[in-house]
């Protein structure tokens, strides 16, 4: 799966009640969703709630509390009572639609912990019942969730008819599972079958079990809701080695929660109607929501699927179609070929009215989307087959399926999902055209497509045994995506950009006390806590390091062996190490006393990473390692050691050769040097291939500062990032670090500039509120001045030039380089002025990229953009100009142009940009505007943006709210992050009602940027108070707020120690 920066819907304490009325005529079905949430005694304002499918009449809602007595909730007055006695400390609440039956616990006491049962009476429909658990750490979340293994599935025959009909979003299902009985532990004396199910109604009358052809008696059907178990209790025991067949009828739900087999809708502009599709997202544990199954990654089986659909729709699944069955005059069922042996989480189904496209000659590789988006699929259709061919060669293993489909899904939880043979994407991860999208949109498409296709081998063909090894799955795909993307888009130089995207980014997160090792023990995968930047990003840089020390040839051959050995099966990280080890032995690339496992265990089982200290003394290199901590306070020596692959070269040697020439396993070592080394300048960790920082003696740093311009770009980017972060951690003086960074005056390389911008941003954020800040800003402006002059005059369309230009202009405008601001304003405003009193507002208002079809005129557009000269003015004086000028802001320039426009504009400008955001259908326009609206310096507009974010009339999709809150959080000049925290506190209940299930996820984004701008005790206390007040309601997000407190305390200490150093240094310049 491609994460969307940890996008995951964290559900609130609560449960959802939905009645299921299936087309099969079952109407008395009580239906519930069960959840377990952490709570501690003393938590304030914890809530427990259920939601009904229709409005609840007051006092029709009751709850059985853990102490087993029943309380009545008066949703009108908020009173909670047991019969006639009012209960203090508890308040009843509902939502705007009156569908929620909720109780707020003022302060959690021991008696509140346990299972709550929620009952809603309904005059017209059956009563509804649901459960929710509040458990503290001692009571424990349910951890023993693994299925017993005495029944193992071999094949499934599954037919599903999703009804995409309002008020009846149900799925009618029939299943037959052929399985094997084996000798294995179970706690029912072999008299039960245990599989997974969730939110599904099992037609118990229909359950049939037969062993070796003879029918067994099912004495009862049980459910363990905490473990998602369906348990079939048998009269007779199962006998090992006999075949077992299980079949039954069931009904599941097509919910709108982005999980399981769910529904998603979009507005079809061609037909002027809203259309709904049914689609799936199963990783990690949601296949069981669609149909009962053995839902663990190593319980692989062959699947034969039938998907019912209306005749005007299409269906898709992992395999090619094998036939069609007529169901009735409206419905047919598409039959699919039996699948290869695979895991449940990789299955996928889509029923929709989508259309498709494919590249010439590749009709077995189709890309699907709603009709009007089809032209935007061409790029993916072009690169997809090329990347597959590249991987087939790289892994020396043919793609095993006969076809591939990829689809753009309107509502999607993560970035994309690698379902075998049917990959699903969020729209921004697959749609692209040259006119409406920027180069960074294209970058996103090429990397995500390459990522998902890499999973077809790593993850799908060979699957992790259990979720512990998720990092390997994701880290691998996150690294290989660079190779795949580089193959089809070499102009992007992605193998260099990995430094910005992964190495430096993960260096930061992994140097905080709150980091964790990437190999983690996962007991209950439902919480998905390891789908994070550490798993993806650190996994990627470790695999890059490994490829480098093993050499490309050995690494790739070892991988090919691994795929052959474990195809259609499961493996653990040690299996991969073993395949690579065998190949390394054969090729003689590692020295005798170290294995791949020994090396990699030091990197995957420990959190953090080392800094290598290098000194040249008495004719030798003295090197030593210690754990790198960003927090100065964490200086206590840790015992951890890593096996570090060290490469070092003098500047007269070949600096593109990254071969390892020394291994450091101990705390320190001495490397004998050549006699000439006294006069040479050396650099360590060539190309930053190793996942560690390097700190030199001041003398060597000074030599590197002098030789900076002779170094290759990756070394320059490495030095800038290392120097500023070592200084931040108190391990290098700021005078050396800033001296080194001063070299960027002549820097034209994207990777190095990105690295400088990123690491200087910390100083900008920390110093921003000081009255001497303009002096520091002036210093950075001066650094950037020459680079700005060069790139702003360039019209090059080369990829690297375009992205460098965007980076520099965005930075220059945010630093207040006047020419940059003028340029931005000219681009949206000035050229219109001679004729009209137009301002940004007018343009924003009139020019709508959605209307470009009507007004497109290349000639005028080009003239306006670059060269409206005075002779032509009369000619281009026409209303259409307005419409085109805005559009003529090249997609790659939109980011900094819009942001600058809003920053220097007024309220009317802001309003019109908001208006545009509400109307546009152009993806890039949407995301750019969402970010630009946060660029304002006006605190009143920030407040307005916050209010608008929870306006029910806003057209911003819930999945995109993240952009809004990150933009506000980064609005440093309007103090956005602090205002947002206050707003959240003041409007807690309102916001909570508005977001419902996605509240906690959104709160996390609202708080995310706060620590980046906070370095005072006051700001720390504010966040700490917030956390202690709401810990009970924050659930799994409380941990990320804890991490934020870590960051702020590090910032406070940094401020005490180094704040003045920076100003002193700048004043000396
Ligand atoms: Zn992935």
Report the separation in Å between the CA atom of 255 and the middle of ligand 1, taken as the mean of its atom positions: 24
Three-state secondary structure of 610-638: EEEEEEEECCEEEEEEEECCCCHHHCCCC
The pLDDT assigned to 22 comes to 26
Which of 117, 452, 925, 993 is labelled catalytic?
452
H or E element in which residue 194 lies? strand 192-196
What is the C-alpha to C-alpha distance for residues 661 and 433, in angstroms, rounded to an integer?
Answer: 46
Per-residue pLDDT reduced to its tens digit, 1035-1048: 667 777 777 888 89
The DSSP 8-state label assigned to residue 983 in this structure reads H
- In degrees, rounded to 5, the angle at the alpha carbon of residue 789 between the alpha carbons of residues 784 and 791 is 95
Beta strands, E only, 561-717: 569-571, 610-617, 620-627, 644-646, 648-650, 662-664, 668-672, 682-684, 693-696
- Report how far apart, in Å, the C-alpha atoms of 265 and of each of 315, 351, 411, 701 are: 16, 12, 7, 58
- In 3D space, the residue among 605, 565, 557 whose CA is nearest the CA of residue 581 turns out to be 557
The pLDDT assigned to 580 comes to 97
Residue 63 · residue 47 · CB < 8 Å: no
Task: Tell me, rounded to whole angstroms, the distance of Cα 138 from its chain centroid.
Answer: 31
- In 3D space, the residue among 776, 750, 684 whose CA is nearest the CA of residue 722 turns out to be 684
Three-state secondary structure of 361-379: CCCCEEEEECHHHHHHHHH
The pLDDT assigned to 2 comes to 65
Per 3-state DSSP, the chain is made up of helix, strand and coil in percentages (nearest 5) of 45, 25, 35
Is there a catalytic annotation at residue 452?
Answer: yes
Q: 232: helix, coil or strand? A: strand
First-to-final CA distance of the chain: 49
For the chain, which ranges sit under pLDDT 50? 4-34, 830-887
Report the separation in Å between the CA atom of 478 and the middle of ligand 1, taken as the mean of its atom positions: 7
Report the separation in Å between the CA atom of 1010 and the middle of ligand 1, taken as the mean of its atom positions: 29
- In 3D space, the residue among 465, 370, 348 whose CA is nearest the CA of residue 416 turns out to be 348
- In 3D space, the residue among 712, 738, 709 whose CA is nearest the CA of residue 723 turns out to be 738
What is the C-alpha to C-alpha distance for residues 81 and 87, in angstroms, rounded to an integer?
Answer: 5
Report the separation in Å between the CA atom of 285 and the middle of ligand 1, taken as the mean of its atom positions: 15
Report the separation in Å between the CA atom of 703 and the middle of ligand 1, taken as the mean of its atom positions: 42
Taking each helix axis from N to C terminus, what angle separates 552-566 and 573-587, rounded to the nearest 10 degrees?
A: 130
The pLDDT assigned to 28 comes to 24
The pLDDT assigned to 14 comes to 27
Task: Tell me, rounded to whole angstroms, the distance of Cα 584 from its chain centroid.
Answer: 34
What is the C-alpha to C-alpha distance for residues 726 and 707, in angstroms, rounded to an integer?
Answer: 20
Task: Tell me, rounded to whole angstroms, the distance of Cα 773 from its chain centroid.
Answer: 35
Residues 6+ apart with CB under 8 A from 332: 308, 309, 311, 324, 325, 326
Report the separation in Å between the CA atom of 666 and the middle of ligand 1, taken as the mean of its atom positions: 35
Tokens 């499918």 locate to 53
Report the separation in Å between the CA atom of 453 and the middle of ligand 1, taken as the mean of its atom positions: 9
Report the separation in Å between the CA atom of 313 and the middle of ligand 1, taken as the mean of its atom positions: 29
Per-residue pLDDT reduced to its tens digit, 406-451: 999 987 778 899 999 999 999 889 999 988 889 999 999 999 999 9
Q: 804: helix, coil or strand? A: helix
Report the separation in Å between the CA atom of 459 and the middle of ligand 1, taken as the mean of its atom positions: 9
Please, what's the b/e burial string for 717-750 (b: 16 or more CB within 10 A of its CB; e: otherwise)? Answer: bbbbbbbbbbbbbbbbbbebbbbbbebbeebbbb
Task: Tell me, rounded to whole angstroms, the distance of Cα 661 from its chain centroid.
Answer: 37
């Amino acid at each position: 799966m491609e994460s969307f920066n940890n996008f995951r819907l964290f559900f609130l304490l609560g449960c959802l009640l939905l009645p299921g009325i299936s087309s099969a005529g079952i109407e008395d079905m009580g239906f519930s969703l069960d959840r377990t949430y952490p709570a501690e005694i003393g938590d304030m304002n914890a809530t427990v709630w259920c939601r009904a499918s229709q409005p609840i009449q007051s006092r029709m809602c009751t709850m059985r509390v853990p102490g087993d007595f029943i309380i009545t909730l008066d949703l009108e007055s908020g009173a909670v009572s047991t019969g006639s006695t009012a209960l203090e400390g508890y308040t009843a609440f509902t939502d705007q639609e009156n569908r929620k039956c909720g109780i707020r616990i003022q302060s959690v006491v021991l008696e509140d912990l346990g299972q709550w049962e929620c009952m809603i009476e309904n005059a017209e429909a059956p009563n509804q019942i649901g459960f929710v658990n509040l458990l503290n750490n001692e009571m424990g979340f349910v951890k023993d969730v693994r299925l017993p293994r005495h029944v193992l599935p071999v094949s499934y025959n599954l037919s599903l008819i999703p009804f995409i009909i309002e008020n009846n979003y149900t799925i009618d299902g029939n299943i037959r599972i052929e399985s094997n009985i084996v000798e294995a532990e179970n706690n029912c004396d072999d008299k039960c079958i245990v599989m997974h199910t969730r939110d599904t109604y099992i037609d118990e009358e229909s359950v049939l079990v037969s062993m070796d052809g003879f029918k067994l008696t099912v004495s009862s059907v049980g459910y363990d809701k905490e473990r998602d178990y369906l348990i079939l209790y048998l009269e007779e025991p199962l006998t090992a080695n006999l075949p077992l067949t299980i079949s039954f009828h069931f009904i599941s739900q097509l919910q709108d929660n982005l999980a399981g087999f769910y529904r998603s809708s979009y507005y079809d502009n061609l037909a002027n109607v809203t259309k709904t599709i049914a689609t799936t997202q199963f990783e990690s544990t949601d296949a069981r929501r669609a149909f009962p199954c053995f839902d663990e990654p190593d319980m692989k089986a062959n699947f034969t699927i039938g998907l019912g659909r209306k005749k005007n729709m299409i269906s898709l699944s992992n395999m090619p179609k094998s036939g069609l069955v007529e169901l009735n005059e409206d419905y047919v069922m598409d039959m699919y070929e039996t699948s290869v042996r695979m895991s449940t989480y990789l299955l996928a189904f889509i029923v929709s009215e989508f259309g498709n496209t494919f590249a010439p000659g590749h009709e077995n590789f189709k890309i699907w989307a709603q009709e009007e988006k089809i032209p935007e699929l061409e790029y993916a259709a072009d690169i997809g087959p090329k990347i597959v061919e590249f991987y087939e060669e790289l892994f020396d293993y043919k793609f095993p399926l006969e076809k591939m489909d990829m689809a753009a899904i309107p509502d999607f939880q993560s970035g994309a999902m690698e379902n075998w043979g049917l990959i699903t994407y969020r729209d921004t991860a697959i749609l692209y055209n040259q006119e409406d999208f920027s180069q960074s949109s294209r970058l996103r498409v090429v990397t995500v497509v390459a990522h998902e296709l890499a999973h077809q081998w790593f993850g799908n063909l060979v699957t992790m045994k259990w979720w512990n090894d998720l990092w390997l799955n994701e880290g691998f795909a996150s690294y290989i995506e660079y190779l795949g993307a580089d193959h089809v888009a070499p102009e992007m130089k992605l193998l260099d950009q990995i430094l910005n995207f992964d190495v430096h980014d993960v260096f930061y997160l992994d140097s905080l006390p709150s980091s964790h090792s990437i190999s983690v023990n996962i007991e209950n995968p439902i919480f998905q806590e390891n789908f994070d930047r550490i798993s993806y990003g650190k996994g990627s840089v470790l695999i890059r390091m490994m490829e480098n020390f093993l050499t490309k040839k050995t690494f790739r051959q070892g991988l090919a062996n691994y795929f052959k050995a474990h195809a259609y099966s499961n493996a653990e990280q040690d299996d991969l190490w073993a395949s690579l080890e065998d190949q390394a032995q054969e090729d003689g690339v590692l020295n005798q006393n170290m294995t791949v496992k020994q090396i990699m265990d030091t990197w995957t089982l420990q959190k953090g990473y080392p800094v290598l200290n290098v000194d040249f003394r008495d004719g030798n290199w003295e090197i030593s390692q210690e754990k790198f901590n960003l927090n100065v306070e964490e200086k206590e020596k840790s015992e951890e050691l890593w096996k570090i692959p060290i490469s070092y070269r003098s500047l007269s040697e070949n600096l593109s050769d990254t071969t390892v020439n020394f291994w450091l396993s101990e705390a320190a070592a001495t490397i004998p040097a050549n006699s000439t080394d006294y006069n040479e300048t050396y650099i360590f960790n060539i190309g930053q291939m190793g996942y560690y920082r390097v700190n030199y003696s001041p003398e060597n740093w000074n030599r590197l500062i002098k030789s900076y311009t002779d170094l290759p770009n990756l070394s320059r980017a490495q030095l800038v990032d290392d120097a500023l972060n070592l200084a931040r951690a108190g391990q290098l003086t700021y005078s050396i670090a800033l001296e080194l960074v001063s070299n960027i005056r002549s820097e034209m390389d994207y990777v190095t500039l990105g690295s400088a911008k990123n690491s200087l941003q910390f100083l900008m954020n920390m110093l921003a509120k000081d009255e001497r800040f303009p002096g520091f800003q002036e210093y950075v402006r001066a650094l950037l001045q020459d680079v700005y002059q060069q790139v702003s005059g360039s019209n090059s369309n080369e990829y690297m030039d375009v992205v460098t230009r965007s980076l520099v202009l965005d930075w220059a405008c945010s630093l207040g380089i006047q020419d940059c601001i003028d340029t931005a304003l000219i681009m949206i405003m000035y050229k219109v002025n001679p004729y009209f009193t137009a301002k940004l507002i007018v343009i924003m208002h009139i020019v709508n990229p959605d209307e470009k079809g009507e007004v497109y005129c290349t000639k005028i557009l080009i003239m306006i953009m670059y060269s409206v000269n005075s002779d032509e003015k009369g000619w281009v004086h026409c209303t259409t100009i307005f419409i085109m000028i805005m559009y003529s802001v090249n997609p790659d320039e939109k980011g900094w142009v819009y942001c600058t426009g809003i920053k220097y504009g007024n309220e009317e400008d802001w309003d019109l940009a908001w208006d545009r955001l509400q109307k546009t259908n152009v993806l890039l326009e949407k995301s750019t505007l969402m970010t630009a609206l946060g660029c304002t310096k006006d605190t009143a507009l920030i407040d307005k943006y916050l209010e608008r974010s929870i306006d029910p009339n806003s057209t911003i999709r819930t999945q995109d709210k993240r952009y809004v809150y990150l933009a506000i959080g980064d609005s440093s000049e309007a103090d956005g992050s602090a205002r947002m925290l206050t707003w959240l506190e003041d409007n807690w209940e309102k916001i909570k009602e508005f977001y419902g299930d996605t509240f906690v996820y959104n709160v996390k984004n609202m708080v995310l940027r706060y620590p980046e701008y906070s370095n005072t005790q006051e700001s720390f206390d504010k966040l700490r108070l917030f956390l202690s007040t709401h810990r009970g309601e924050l659930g799994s997000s409380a941990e990320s707020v804890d991490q934020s407190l870590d960051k702020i305390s590090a910032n406070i200490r940094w401020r005490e120690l180094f704040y003045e150093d920076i100003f002193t240094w700048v004043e000396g310049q």
